[in-house]
Amino acid sequence: MSKGIISKDEDYSQWFNDLVIKADLAEYAPVRGCMIIKPYGYSIWEKMQAALDKMFKDTGHSNAYFPLFIPKSFFSKEASHVDGFAKECAVVTHYRLKNDGEGNIIVDEDAKLEEELIVRPTSETIIWHTYKGWIQSYRDLPLLINQWANVVRWEMRTRLFLRTTEFLWQEGHTAHATAQEAVAETEQMLEVYADFVENWMGVPVVKGRKTANERFAGALDTYCIEALMQDGKALQAGTSHFLGQNFAKAFDVKFTTKEGTLEHVWATSWGVSTRLMGALIMTHSDDAGLVLPPKLAPIQVVAVPIYKHDEELENIRTYIKGLSAELRAKGISIKFDDRDTQRPGFKFAEYELKGVPLRIAIGSRDMQNGTVELARRDTRTKETVTQDGLANHIEQLLEDIQTNIYQKAFKFREENTTEVDTYDEFKRLLDEKPGFLSAHWDGTPETEQRIKDETKATIRCIPLNNKQEEGKCILTGNPSTQRVLFARAY
């Protein structure tokens, strides 16, 4: 089944693309830069959504939905925001088509919109326009809203899940009475994202702050989580922004305080997208296919019967039915693949490709001996175990697999994070041993931009757990008090 997937050591980019398509996660759409997320891929996204949505609601947030189309004039109200997204915006100029009389469909030139509409690249502007009507008093605060939606950013170079013209995401937008409350919200949501990515996806992250050059357009401060992929490139897995009062002032969102004064509210926004699917694939998978964490796998356990006669199949089916009931009572999903159109070997390869964490193989001899064969996807090891207490054993194995894939990824990140003190060493390691490079930087945007132009490496973040240490910037030699994390990135 894995035939047709190039080795990741030979061509990592092509390996990723092959795997997304062969594992039935997504395919290219007829619209350039867009993708079709197939049922198996979407079921992983649904599990991500469900876990995150619970986390959001547990921290007091509610879901809402805002329009896909945003009046162009809204963008002009926050200058730095429009500058950040202007080159990526899709614009609707007309509202009708017509037949030209020769069988062709054309745009009706008489149906031009009075005001052009922007297809949502992000929703700050329309949400803050709305919040003006929702917020009048301190009693209306905090306002904690999340939206699950699609967005459009016109990308020139696209890749499935990682960078597409249209993608799915969630975006949180909150309003607060004080700056301190807004900063606390920004930090809380960063922790929520880190918790999800590490404990559900099994992907270790570095929590940090973005430099001014890398900050979200319109934000005063951007917090992020950064992950390291198997090719040594970084991937930004989530961001949380402290917006200050920029959007409140742009849309005149004020509230009456307890003391009776009128003040602008303080804001945050935060989001993750289907880009997390790319992170999941690139962190754990191998040349044989996907490796999925049990918590997010659409199928956690698959049982494949091996039989010659229908009577043997029925005996196996009866046993698996009882086992399935025990597993489902523990919240574990299991599929019994009794298709007679494919041989067991084909099924083994298929589920390996799709990253099912645990496979049960059971034949008539196993039924006589009271055993089954268990195969782990993460280690590709097999063991024969007794049927007694099997549900409990499987439950423990899935926990072990979840832990193991995280620890493996963590070990990889640690082995590929290097402290560097000279620019020559920095450039050499970027080519010879790509990964996170921890280096001193003098704090100027000019130095940051020059390093990016010369090496294609960017400052991924200023880690939150940074220790203060005296040093010299790797490029200019100017004094520095802490290291920052550089990498080439997706």
Residues 427-439: tens digit of each pLDDT = 999 999 999 999 9
Give the chain's count of helices (H) and strands (E): 14, 27
Question: Residue 338, Cβ neighbours under 10 Å: how many?
Answer: 15
How many other β-carbons are positioned within 10 Å of the β-carbon of residue 129? 20
User: For residue 168, what are its two tokens?
Assistant: 């799915």
Say which residue the tokens 């897995």 belong to: 237
Residues 6+ apart with CB under 8 A from 345: none
Residues with Cβ within 8 Å of residue 377, at least 6 apart in sequence: 291, 292, 351, 352, 355, 356, 357, 358, 359, 401
Report whether the peptide linkage leading into residue 142 is cis, meaning its omega lies within 30 degrees of zero.
yes
Residues 306 and 368: their CA atoms lie apart, in Å, by 13
Question: 64 near 171, Cβ under 8 Å?
Answer: no
Of 144, 196, 199, residue with least CA distance to 171: 144
- Give this prediction's pTM: 0.96
Counting other chains too, the contacts that 148-151 makes at CB distance below 8 Å and 24 or more residues apart are: 148/49, 148/53, 148/63, 148/65, 149/65, 149/66, 149/68, 149/120, 149/123, 150/68, 150/120, 151/120, 151/121, 151/122, 151/123, 151/273
304 has which bridge partners?
361
Which amino acid appears at position 455 of this protein? Answer: T
Q: What whole-number distance in Å separates Cα of residue 270 and Cα of residue 242? A: 9
SS3 142: coil
The tens digit of pLDDT for each residue in 137-155 reads 999 999 999 999 999 999 8
Model pLDDT, residue 2? 52
Q: Largest Cα–Cα distance in the chain?
A: 82
CB 230 within 8 A of CB 282: yes
- Below-50 pLDDT ranges, the chain: 1
pLDDT confidence of residue 1: 45
